[in-house]
Amino acid sequence: MTPLNDPEREALSVLAYVMLESGRPEKAAALLDGLDALLPGNPATLQSLAVAQLRAGRPAEALHTVDRLLARDTPGARITWLVQAQALQALGRRSEAFVAMERYLTSHRAMAATAKGYRP
Protein backbone atom coordinates (compact mmCIF):
# COMPACT_ATOMS: atom_id res chain seq x y z
CA MET A 1 0.00 0.00 0.00
CA THR A 2 1.31 3.44 -0.92
CA PRO A 3 1.68 5.75 2.07
CA LEU A 4 -0.38 8.92 2.17
CA ASN A 5 1.30 12.21 1.52
CA ASP A 6 0.45 15.24 3.66
CA PRO A 7 -2.15 16.75 1.28
CA GLU A 8 -3.97 13.40 1.02
CA ARG A 9 -3.96 12.94 4.79
CA GLU A 10 -5.21 16.49 5.26
CA ALA A 11 -7.98 15.97 2.67
CA LEU A 12 -9.22 12.86 4.49
CA SER A 13 -9.10 14.69 7.81
CA VAL A 14 -11.10 17.62 6.41
CA LEU A 15 -13.64 15.26 4.86
CA ALA A 16 -14.05 13.47 8.20
CA TYR A 17 -14.54 16.83 9.91
CA VAL A 18 -17.21 17.81 7.39
CA MET A 19 -18.97 14.47 7.92
CA LEU A 20 -18.84 14.91 11.69
CA GLU A 21 -20.17 18.47 11.58
CA SER A 22 -22.87 17.44 9.08
CA GLY A 23 -24.34 15.00 11.57
CA ARG A 24 -22.80 11.91 10.01
CA PRO A 25 -20.51 10.64 12.75
CA GLU A 26 -20.58 7.04 11.48
CA LYS A 27 -19.10 8.13 8.15
CA ALA A 28 -16.56 10.32 9.93
CA ALA A 29 -15.56 7.39 12.16
CA ALA A 30 -15.14 5.13 9.11
CA LEU A 31 -12.86 7.68 7.42
CA LEU A 32 -10.86 8.20 10.59
CA ASP A 33 -10.58 4.44 11.21
CA GLY A 34 -9.09 4.14 7.73
CA LEU A 35 -6.74 7.04 8.33
CA ASP A 36 -5.65 5.48 11.61
CA ALA A 37 -4.97 2.19 9.84
CA LEU A 38 -2.75 4.00 7.33
CA LEU A 39 -1.03 6.25 9.88
CA PRO A 40 -1.43 4.49 13.23
CA GLY A 41 -1.41 6.50 16.41
CA ASN A 42 -1.58 10.02 15.00
CA PRO A 43 -2.85 12.10 17.94
CA ALA A 44 -5.08 14.40 15.85
CA THR A 45 -6.65 11.42 14.10
CA LEU A 46 -7.23 9.57 17.37
CA GLN A 47 -8.79 12.61 19.00
CA SER A 48 -11.16 13.13 16.07
CA LEU A 49 -11.93 9.41 15.94
CA ALA A 50 -12.88 9.35 19.64
CA VAL A 51 -15.26 12.30 19.12
CA ALA A 52 -16.81 10.64 16.05
CA GLN A 53 -17.28 7.34 17.89
CA LEU A 54 -18.86 9.12 20.85
CA ARG A 55 -21.25 11.08 18.62
CA ALA A 56 -22.10 7.88 16.76
CA GLY A 57 -23.29 6.34 20.01
CA ARG A 58 -20.28 4.07 20.43
CA PRO A 59 -18.90 5.14 23.81
CA ALA A 60 -17.00 1.91 24.48
CA GLU A 61 -15.06 2.35 21.23
CA ALA A 62 -14.51 6.03 22.02
CA LEU A 63 -13.12 5.08 25.41
CA HIS A 64 -10.73 2.57 23.82
CA THR A 65 -9.54 5.27 21.39
CA VAL A 66 -9.10 7.73 24.27
CA ASP A 67 -7.05 5.13 26.15
CA ARG A 68 -4.79 4.76 23.11
CA LEU A 69 -4.37 8.52 22.92
CA LEU A 70 -3.67 8.99 26.63
CA ALA A 71 -1.12 6.17 26.53
CA ARG A 72 0.88 8.31 24.07
CA ASP A 73 1.14 11.16 26.60
CA THR A 74 0.71 13.77 23.90
CA PRO A 75 -0.14 17.45 24.31
CA GLY A 76 -3.82 18.25 24.03
CA ALA A 77 -4.94 15.77 26.66
CA ARG A 78 -7.33 18.40 28.02
CA ILE A 79 -9.91 17.76 25.29
CA THR A 80 -9.22 14.04 25.49
CA TRP A 81 -10.24 14.05 29.17
CA LEU A 82 -13.52 15.71 28.21
CA VAL A 83 -14.26 12.98 25.65
CA GLN A 84 -13.20 10.37 28.21
CA ALA A 85 -15.61 11.84 30.77
CA GLN A 86 -18.47 11.82 28.26
CA ALA A 87 -17.77 8.23 27.19
CA LEU A 88 -17.56 7.03 30.78
CA GLN A 89 -20.82 8.83 31.62
CA ALA A 90 -22.53 7.21 28.62
CA LEU A 91 -21.33 3.82 29.88
CA GLY A 92 -22.76 4.49 33.34
CA ARG A 93 -19.34 4.73 34.97
CA ARG A 94 -20.17 7.92 36.84
CA SER A 95 -17.38 8.03 39.43
CA GLU A 96 -14.73 7.56 36.74
CA ALA A 97 -16.48 10.16 34.58
CA PHE A 98 -16.35 12.59 37.51
CA VAL A 99 -12.58 12.10 37.88
CA ALA A 100 -12.03 12.61 34.14
CA MET A 101 -14.17 15.76 34.18
CA GLU A 102 -12.19 17.08 37.16
CA ARG A 103 -8.95 16.55 35.19
CA TYR A 104 -10.47 18.41 32.25
CA LEU A 105 -11.69 21.33 34.39
CA THR A 106 -8.41 21.61 36.30
CA SER A 107 -6.38 21.74 33.09
CA HIS A 108 -8.86 24.17 31.53
CA ARG A 109 -8.60 26.55 34.50
CA ALA A 110 -4.80 26.31 34.44
CA MET A 111 -4.70 27.06 30.72
CA ALA A 112 -7.06 30.02 31.13
CA ALA A 113 -4.99 31.40 34.00
CA THR A 114 -1.77 31.05 32.01
CA ALA A 115 -3.36 32.78 29.03
CA LYS A 116 -4.26 35.73 31.29
CA GLY A 117 -0.66 36.02 32.43
CA TYR A 118 -0.89 34.55 35.89
CA ARG A 119 -0.82 31.13 37.46
CA PRO A 120 -3.40 29.68 39.83
The model's pLDDT over 45-55, given as tens digits with 9 standing for 90+, comes to 999 999 999 99
The model's pLDDT over 71-103, given as tens digits with 9 standing for 90+, comes to 887 666 778 889 999 999 999 999 999 999 998
Which pLDDT score, from 0 to 100, does residue 4 have? 77
Are 35 and 16 within 8 A, CB to CB?
A: yes
Catalogue all structural domains in the chain, each as residue range(s) with its CATH number.
Answer: 6-115 (1.25.40.10)
Return all residues near 92 (Cβ < 8 A) that are at least 6 apart: none
Give start and end residues of each alpha helix (H) in the chain.
Answer: 6-21, 25-38, 43-55, 59-71, 77-90, 94-115
When pLDDT is averaged across residues 62-75 and rounded to a whole number, the result is: 87
When pLDDT is averaged across residues 45-72 and rounded to a whole number, the result is: 94
The model's pLDDT over 18-51, given as tens digits with 9 standing for 90+, comes to 999 999 999 999 999 999 998 888 999 999 999 9
